[in-house]
Amino acid sequence: MGTSLITSRYFIVFSGCLLLAIFLICFSWTNSPISNTKSNRLHRIAISSPSPQHPLDPLSLDEISTVQSVLRSYPQFSFPNAFPSIHSLSLEEPPKSVVLAWRPGHAFPPRRASVIAFSSGKSHLLTVDINSLTVLVHEIVTSVSGFPMLTPEDLATAVSIAFSNSTFLDSLISRGLDPSELTCGPSGWFGPLEESSRRLMIIDCSTHKDTINFYMKPIEGLSALVDIDRNETLHIWDIDRKIPVNSDPDTDYRYEVQKEKDQPSSCKVNPIFMIQPKGPSFEVVGKHLIKWAGWEMHVRPDARAGVIISQVKITDPETGKYRQVMYKGMVSELFIPYMDPTDGWYFKTYLDAGESGFGIQAMPLDRLNDCPTGAYFMDGVFAWADGQPYLRSDMICVFERYDGDVAWRHSEGLMTGKDVREVRPKITLVVRMAASVGNYDYIVDWEFQTDGLIRIKVSATGMLMVKGTTYENMNQVPEEEDLYGTLITENVIGVVHDHYINFYLDMDVDGSNNSFVNVHMVKQETNEGESPRKSYLKVKKHVAKTEKDAQIKLKLYDPSEFHVMNPSRINSIGNPSGYRIVPGGTAASLLDLHDPPQMRAAFTNNQIWVTPYNRTEQWAAGLLACHSNGDDTLAKWTEKDRPIENRDIVLWYTLGFHHVPCQEDYPIMPTVSASFELKPVNFFKKNPILRVAPYSKDDFLTLRSKASA
Amino acid sequence: MGTSLITSRYFIVFSGCLLLAIFLICFSWTNSPISNTKSNRLHRIAISSPSPQHPLDPLSLDEISTVQSVLRSYPQFSFPNAFPSIHSLSLEEPPKSVVLAWRPGHAFPPRRASVIAFSSGKSHLLTVDINSLTVLVHEIVTSVSGFPMLTPEDLATAVSIAFSNSTFLDSLISRGLDPSELTCGPSGWFGPLEESSRRLMIIDCSTHKDTINFYMKPIEGLSALVDIDRNETLHIWDIDRKIPVNSDPDTDYRYEVQKEKDQPSSCKVNPIFMIQPKGPSFEVVGKHLIKWAGWEMHVRPDARAGVIISQVKITDPETGKYRQVMYKGMVSELFIPYMDPTDGWYFKTYLDAGESGFGIQAMPLDRLNDCPTGAYFMDGVFAWADGQPYLRSDMICVFERYDGDVAWRHSEGLMTGKDVREVRPKITLVVRMAASVGNYDYIVDWEFQTDGLIRIKVSATGMLMVKGTTYENMNQVPEEEDLYGTLITENVIGVVHDHYINFYLDMDVDGSNNSFVNVHMVKQETNEGESPRKSYLKVKKHVAKTEKDAQIKLKLYDPSEFHVMNPSRINSIGNPSGYRIVPGGTAASLLDLHDPPQMRAAFTNNQIWVTPYNRTEQWAAGLLACHSNGDDTLAKWTEKDRPIENRDIVLWYTLGFHHVPCQEDYPIMPTVSASFELKPVNFFKKNPILRVAPYSKDDFLTLRSKASA
């Protein structure tokens, strides 16, 4: 952003616009949603916009308004109809060195916005200085393929183009459908019909007749290919008219609908709450800096990444001083390929951050049910396509958690004659957001433990993307036929798919210059006569020299630990200070490396990658991921095989899920979670929570007196 | 147990007594622990002993006393000094068919005890009928190698033998050690010194001078090989006298010691509790049958397995009727091999259930810190070596959990114009025990979700097993030298090791006859011209015919789901009812298959196994695991490659951890957890918790009025 990386004319080969995470954003034809939401704007803007407290605080409503004004008066955009659509407008982070040097009370580095705009088929990257009201940088992207994230307005346009096509409308009507009962949305696309310079989408529809859950009622076999910039419908597919729409009357998941139905009383449970008799232990400085249990971190909403966690530090209990752990962590990209290669489905592969904005899709959290009592809620501030700001209330919550688990314990057995039972409860701090990317809901949790561990968890829930079928029972399906999924109810197939969530983790363990170490565990055979044992597990450490040395495919029978360590911070017994990444939630993409969706989501080719820090390399599938051909991805950057030893390095990790749907996922899916961890390894001299207090009888008396009153 | 499986004379080849989970049970020489604990017995026995409420209720204090009387008057044991030592005395489960047919109000099947006794080098298996006061079965094991679990008395004997050896004592004194400040314990053993018919142990010591945490202060290089039956010391190793004892004055983890020391106030957190304004939702029928949220399960303590969960059923929300899920689930065995092949360490490989009794090591839970408020506590009742019963109070807890996570959710995005935010809090029920097997503490949780999922989690904490060294800094260690671990503080190495926990899971999904299905996901390439996609993930199901067909080594790049399904319960759309095992916490043993410790822990050769139900096959490393040579293990049984399709089958899963210690593990380890899941798959017609209520404003008002009072 604002750099010269992207300079020559872009070029698309066999690529396309893979839009809108999983059915992404759907429009009810009759609801005129854009006008509805726009009517709420003025109210929102009236909310006061405080000045920043930290160099990384996101742009405020006022700051975005200022940027909008600067762009409106910018000569290149100020003649009639020249104002581009704004696809991204967010804080341009000051250089890392400037942020690291900043201290409270210091003057703020200049407040600047990074803007990605689109006009006449061209992507513009701009830097706007908010203090001087000037456009500092303006580049037109010519070097790489791809388009900016789509705006909500783009999606509305796509739907309205299809609905203005009489063939499309006629087919709907001849299928016996009332267009006023349809919810339609654009989906990704690539393949033979693609052209390099056009923003194309495919529209298909579902019915919301008698249910909010239109996702379970697809109109199978009808779709329209549209050009959203030229307002043209290029092709209509109209096949499989014999496939019925799912007629199940019980797909609505809303409590107001379901509460009328019987539930066995034995299945009911009473509510449980977490309460803190002495109050919460975390402090929010300004709106974004969180302090808790020796941790400090900056948390901000982001339209693309969702949540950005910055400048994570932890107090060393030996010195009482902060030590750096991570400069920046965030979701960089998601990839959701569906596993059906047939006509109506082959294009359904999505990049949920780069195509549609993971943060844009993060709706306000339910204060009663999404986060426990005592949570702190943080708003997001984003921009519409015309540059006007809006507020996404309650987008992130921060809360303390106690779930009954223990941080450490030990009892002495009955045989030592020592009456020892020392147990410490585990209390953590969670930073949460939930993005509803069309049908799917993703909950992203950053959980901080008092012992220095950070757990990053992604939970998937919401609705499946389903396919209509004539089959009502598996006994009707010929043995040789591949359904590409599971028959989950009459006439409905849950299509097999994967989810990959890539995390950008700019680790700065005790400073920026770190190394990546493969702590390899190998079977070592003993020599004849050396030992009664034939074998043992031997640890062999290898410091990765270059990027290719740190491209990791995990193997159960060839295990390693993966450490990010600081070779300049050797402690008193000679071990370097480090943090481990503890993989979890692993699934590997099995798609062909040259399959177009895999090429642009090539970050899934390995589970772990390491790159030297480069501020232009933050989005694993490229800055302009939509329609890209994969020429600006993690896989491409690392082909340079740059040195990574004792440098400022970035760790990339991909969580994965294979999802073969089952009946229980219908009509709404129970949450499935996966997580990985960042864990101190020889970072502290000893267990950093050796001295914490257990819960005492007094704590319980306080609780009881409150609870029984 | 009461069967004829074990009939011919036992025979040991290259095997041995791998005792006492990780440094297992340690005796303070001066504390006379056995007499201390025995003095508490009479008090315990006075507690009233209710009659059983369920055929699987464990033996009561009275019932064990009755069994002891029957054995004392049993002619073969009643002449002078003929009474054997009792190594196991527990409920002999009635036949599965009898338990399945039993209903409340029916007459109880006969109450019987399974007893494993040891006398004059021979293992005796007995069945005692409690009602008729008779010994029904008495077999002397001759067909397989191995000895029964060790008793606490065996361990005390081993230590006292070493301490009666003057060479051993002299060496301690010449090292400047005061024997009254030592805590010594026996450890596993195998190798060239082993003999087939002797129960041998190796004793080594640590000092508890100025600390409770003797585990961190080993006396390196001195150990004694003893025969616990003949009261002989066979060998003394006395090497490495120059290795100092760790002199760190800050190893004691007890709060009464640590609270005097400074902790940065910013690191402190306030307590959090879970409270239930409307009370708990679970019911305990009798003492062992738990009903919650439509679930029913029987929970009982067991000396060997720790916790046994039986007859797990869940209510189908469509019919309100119970459906069977699992007949029995438990920890079957643990395996903890240390990765140091040198003289003082090669024998440190442990089977924590079969050698020392995982349940015997489960100490009373801390009611304030091991389990949250509102927990129900269950006592264990076990027998001493003389057959006298004792009570282990608060051995298991059962509690409801809410940690702020959600069971399912969906928001509609801003674009559909629909204001939908439906979120359901996730509430679960946890059954927990914590075993302190010497240095290590294992917490085992069975967590039940309202959506039918069962999560089985093992958490490891407590103390490392460490090795003394002369090194104080890694810069003193020659590059070619293998420490077999990490220098975690001056003079102390945390030795690399693995943990494997094998679970026995007798799944009965909608009945006993089930099949095991490998739901294989393979890369399928498309044909030229078939699709713009080159590849997709195709699901191929394979029903395992025989045991070898179901021996699974997990592979990230060759993924499968693993279903246990009932081929006779095909639902209305043609899918068989099933439960999946969702692997997690995977680590594979890399030891040579012919390494003696690996032979007896051969259950770690695969992550998943399936066997036809056989009531004599419950312990993955054999009924008589101690000193065994692996001739009665899961790996041996499955060599028969028996049919497993549409039969009563048992699923076996092994959780694994590789542990390369780090400084943070010193002097007590932060908890590390791993889990796997049993998850309904096409078991329910749809999401079974579609109809549950979210938390309402009323719930919060109730809470607030209680909390603020």
What is the band of B437 on the pLDDT scale with cuts at 50, 70, 90?
A: very high
Average pLDDT over residues B622-639: 94
Assess B561–A contact: CB distance below 8 Å, yes or no. yes
**Averaged pLDDT of chain A:** 90
CB neighbourhood size of B568 (10 A): 13
Per-residue pLDDT of A76-93, as tens digits, reads 998 888 899 999 999 999
Residue A519 is predicted with a pLDDT of 98
Residue B313 is predicted with a pLDDT of 98
Residue B144 is predicted with a pLDDT of 87
Nearest neighbour of B183 by CB, restricted to A280, A416, A683:
A416
**pLDDT of A503 over the 80 cut:** yes
All residues of chain A having their beta carbon less than 8 Å from the beta carbon of residue B700 are 273, 368, 373
| B114 in Cβ contact with B92 (< 8 Å) | yes
All residues of chain A having their beta carbon less than 8 Å from the beta carbon of residue B402 are 271-274, 372, 403
Average pLDDT over residues A459-488: 97
Assess B496–A contact: CB distance below 8 Å, yes or no. yes
**What phi and psi values does residue A602 have, to the nearest 5 degrees?**
-65, -5
Lowest mean pLDDT segment, chosen from A270-279, B484-493, B666-675: A270-279
**pLDDT of B578 over the 90 cut:** yes
Largest CA distance in chain B: 89
Cα B487 from Cα B472, distance rounded (Å): 8
Local structure of B220: helix, strand or coil: coil
Per-residue pLDDT of B496-517, as tens digits, reads 999 999 999 999 999 999 999 9
What is the band of B31 on the pLDDT scale with cuts at 50, 70, 90?
A: very low
Q: Of A321, A297, A401, whose CA–CA distance to A54 is shortest?
A: A297
CB distance B450–A267 less than 8 Å? Answer: yes
The per-type count for chain A, helices as H runs and strands as E runs, is 10, 32
Structural tokens at position A335? 């990839």
All residues of chain A having their beta carbon less than 8 Å from the beta carbon of residue B255 are 422, 693-694
CB distance A694–B255 less than 8 Å? Answer: yes
Residue B187 is predicted with a pLDDT of 75
Residue A365 is predicted with a pLDDT of 98
Which H/E stretch holds residue A152?
helix A152-163
- Min Cα–Cα distance to chain B from A251, Å: 9
Amino acid at B94: P
**pLDDT of A3 over the 90 cut:** no
| A600 in Cβ contact with B542 (< 8 Å) | no
Assess B675–A contact: CB distance below 8 Å, yes or no. no
Distance of alpha carbon A106 from its chain centroid, rounded? 33
Assess B361–A contact: CB distance below 8 Å, yes or no. yes
Residue B81 is predicted with a pLDDT of 86
Strand partners, B228: none
| A399 in Cβ contact with B375 (< 8 Å) | no
All residues of chain A having their beta carbon less than 8 Å from the beta carbon of residue B28 are 416-418
What is the band of A41 on the pLDDT scale with cuts at 50, 70, 90?
A: very low
Residue A45 is predicted with a pLDDT of 39
E-assigned strand segments in B548-596: 560-570, 576-582
**pLDDT of B25 over the 70 cut:** no
CB distance A587–B412 less than 8 Å? Answer: no
Question: What DSSP letter does each residue of B357-392 carry, written as one string?
Answer: -TTTTBPPP-TTTTS-TT-EEEEEEEE-TTS-EEEE
**pLDDT of B288 over the 80 cut:** yes
Residue A49 is predicted with a pLDDT of 55
In angstroms and rounded to an integer, the radius of gyration of the C-alpha atoms of chain A is 27
All residues of chain B having their beta carbon less than 8 Å from the beta carbon of residue A461 are 406, 408-410
What is the band of A190 on the pLDDT scale with cuts at 50, 70, 90?
A: low
Average pLDDT over residues B446-467: 98
> Which residues of B are known to be catalytic?
352, 440
CB distance A27–B415 less than 8 Å? Answer: yes
Average pLDDT over residues A250-271: 90
Q: Of A164, A168, A207, A156, whose CA–CA distance to A27 is shortest?
A: A156
Amino acid at A410: H
Cα B554 from Cα B542, distance rounded (Å): 16
Structural tokens at position B174? 């010449």
Assess A518–B contact: CB distance below 8 Å, yes or no. no
Q: What percent of chain A has pLDDT over 70?
A: 91
**pLDDT of B325 over the 60 cut:** yes
Average pLDDT over residues B311-333: 97
Cα A141 from Cα A146, distance rounded (Å): 10
- Min Cα–Cα distance to chain A from B172, Å: 20
**pLDDT of B686 over the 60 cut:** yes
Which H/E stretch holds residue B636?
helix B634-637
**pLDDT of B18 over the 60 cut:** no
All residues of chain B having their beta carbon less than 8 Å from the beta carbon of residue A686 are 250, 489, 663-664, 666-667
Contacts of A647 (CB under 8 A, 6+ apart): A513, A514, A515, A612, A613
Assess B107–A contact: CB distance below 8 Å, yes or no. no
**pLDDT of B49 over the 70 cut:** no
Q: How many CA atoms lie within 13 A of A464 on its CB side?
A: 32
Lowest mean pLDDT segment, chosen from A237-241, A346-350, B150-154, B415-419: B415-419
Q: Of B557, B553, B564, whose CA–CA distance to B519 is shortest?
A: B564
Nearest neighbour of B534 by CB, restricted to A403, A595, A683:
A595
Measured CA distances, A140 to A126, A403, A600, A623 (Å): 9, 51, 22, 13
What is the band of A326 on the pLDDT scale with cuts at 50, 70, 90?
A: very high
**pLDDT of B361 over the 90 cut:** yes
**What phi and psi values does residue A155 have, to the nearest 5 degrees?**
-70, -40
CB distance B436–A453 less than 8 Å? Answer: no
Residue A22 is predicted with a pLDDT of 33
CB distance B255–A693 less than 8 Å? Answer: yes
| A595 in Cβ contact with A551 (< 8 Å) | no
ipTM beyond 0.95?
Answer: no
Amino acid at A306: G
End-to-end CA separation in angstroms for chain A: 58
Amino acid at A479: E
Residue B191 is predicted with a pLDDT of 62
Q: Of A662, A667, A661, whose CA–CA distance to A218 is shortest?
A: A667
Contacts of B633 (CB under 8 A, 6+ apart): B599, B600, B601, B602, B603, B620, B621, B622
Structural tokens at position B53? 């409420």
Lowest mean pLDDT segment, chosen from A452-466, A585-599, B325-339: A585-599
| B243 in Cβ contact with B221 (< 8 Å) | yes
**pLDDT of A57 over the 50 cut:** yes
CB distance B408–A669 less than 8 Å? Answer: yes
E-assigned strand segments in A95-175: 112-119, 122-129, 134-140
Across the beta sheet with B112-119, what order do the strands follow? B85-91, B112-119, B122-129, B134-140
Scan residues 139-158 of B and list those with Cβ closer than 8 Å to A: 152, 155-156
The per-type count for chain B, helices as H runs and strands as E runs, is 11, 32
Distance of alpha carbon B451 from its chain centroid, rounded? 26
Residue B521 is predicted with a pLDDT of 98
Assess A478–B contact: CB distance below 8 Å, yes or no. no
Residue B252 is predicted with a pLDDT of 97
Contacts of B534 (CB under 8 A, 6+ apart): A591, A592, A594, A595, A596, B525, B526
CB distance A281–B293 less than 8 Å? Answer: no
All residues of chain B having their beta carbon less than 8 Å from the beta carbon of residue A410 are 253, 436, 441, 461-463, 668
**pLDDT of A21 over the 70 cut:** no
- Min Cα–Cα distance to chain B from A309, Å: 20
Lowest mean pLDDT segment, chosen from A48-57, A372-381, A600-609, B603-612: A48-57
Q: Of B441, B309, B514, B387, whose CA–CA distance to B68 is shortest?
A: B387
CB distance B424–A369 less than 8 Å? Answer: yes
Residue B622 is predicted with a pLDDT of 96
**What phi and psi values does residue A700 have, to the nearest 5 degrees?**
-70, -35
Which H/E stretch holds residue A679?
strand A669-681
Cα A42 from Cα A45, distance rounded (Å): 5
Residue A413 is predicted with a pLDDT of 73
Assess B27–A contact: CB distance below 8 Å, yes or no. yes
What is the band of A548 on the pLDDT scale with cuts at 50, 70, 90?
A: very high
Local structure of A510: helix, strand or coil: coil
- Report CA dihedral (B245, B249, B253, B257) to the nearest 10 degrees: 140
- Determine the residue of chain B that is closest to A578 in CA distance: B662
**pLDDT of B461 over the 90 cut:** yes
Cα A403 from Cα A428, distance rounded (Å): 9
Assess A709–B contact: CB distance below 8 Å, yes or no. yes
Tell which wins on pLDDT, A702 or A135.
A135
| B611 in Cβ contact with B642 (< 8 Å) | yes
Q: What is the reported pTM?
A: 0.94
Q: Which residue is listed with tokens 């940088």?
A: A137
Cα A83 from Cα A71, distance rounded (Å): 8
Assess B268–A contact: CB distance below 8 Å, yes or no. yes
Scan residues 651-670 of B and list those with Cβ closer than 8 Å to A: 658, 660, 662-670
Residue B197 is predicted with a pLDDT of 74
- Determine the residue of chain A that is closest to B592 in CA distance: A535
Measured CA distances, B585 to A176, A269, B426, B499 (Å): 52, 30, 22, 11
**pLDDT of B30 over the 50 cut:** no
